[in-house]
Structure 1
């Protein structure tokens, strides 16, 4: 399969996992189910049920369990998308890829997170030499020297 289609499948799997449980979930959920269903109402319903199972699996409260579920679900959806694209003829594959790109752009902009950073794994933010590093800053940020300590009292 072409590298661009694999990247698209990765983006699709990532979006499903990142958007589950957010305000954008219902829109993405329906669009992904319709994309898989391709006009078949029964297949679309089956996909809705799979998506609901994914959302439930991602609600783990234990951090280690949540990470395992995220990795597993992302890989599963990536594989499902890859298989779907592989099983289409060239013309249908191109059209389905365009449709998937459009639905991801509409329902999961920036990989599922709007106004911020979307990452599949750990992110490290580091500042040096009196600078500021942050994923997001709401409002202003100021750098000033630390207050001087009070002089010793004799």
Structure 2
């Protein structure tokens, strides 16, 4: 039986895999996870790569309204895989793999401030200042309200 801390770590690692799929971070996460499962065994690493590729393909093919539910299932699936791996190891190897999983989680959560974007998206690792000119509003999806200071009246339509 795994200690609670290792179960929490496996859960965070599963979430890191599921959240990275389809983002710019995927290649790095994919390679790291394959090394963790491979641990020097090329065939074990290949099995992990096949599973990782299936994960990414499933999320890529999912309808937008089903993607979150699928991601949650994949998150749980990867958590179970990480738990199984940790349980199969002797104490010394478990400590090494736990450290690798912690690095994976830290890298994933620290990548671009924890933000990620799918195709056509944009992420920023710090403050972003977006300005509009001529009384317009600049933004994409706005959660919350908009406060305009000294709004000017729109000018004539230009065309």
How far did 1:109 drift?
3.2
Q: Give the alignment's Cα RMSD to 1 decimal.
A: 2.7
How far apart in 2 are the matches of 1:94 and 1:29? 21
How far apart in 2 are the matches of 1:63 and 1:48? 25
Runs (4+) of structure 1 moved beyond 4 Å?
140-147
How far did 1:18 drift?
1.0
Note if 1:109 corresponds to 2:106: no
Q: For structure 1, which runs of at least 5 residues remain unmatched after alignment?
A: 119-135, 148-154
Residue 14 of structure 1 corresponds to which residue in structure 2? Answer: 15
Distance 1:95 1:58, change over 3 A: same
Deviations 1:80-134 (A, max 9, x none): 001100111122111110122123333x133xx522568xxxxxxxxxxxxxxxx
Number of residue pairs aligned between Structure 1 and Structure 2:
129
Residue 132 of structure 1 corresponds to which residue in structure 2? Answer: none
Residue 128 of structure 2 corresponds to which residue in structure 1? Answer: 138
Q: For structure 2, which runs of at least 5 residues remain unmatched after alignment?
A: 117-125, 132-145, 152-159
* Structure 2 counterparts to residues 60-79 of structure 1, below 5 A: 60-79=61-80
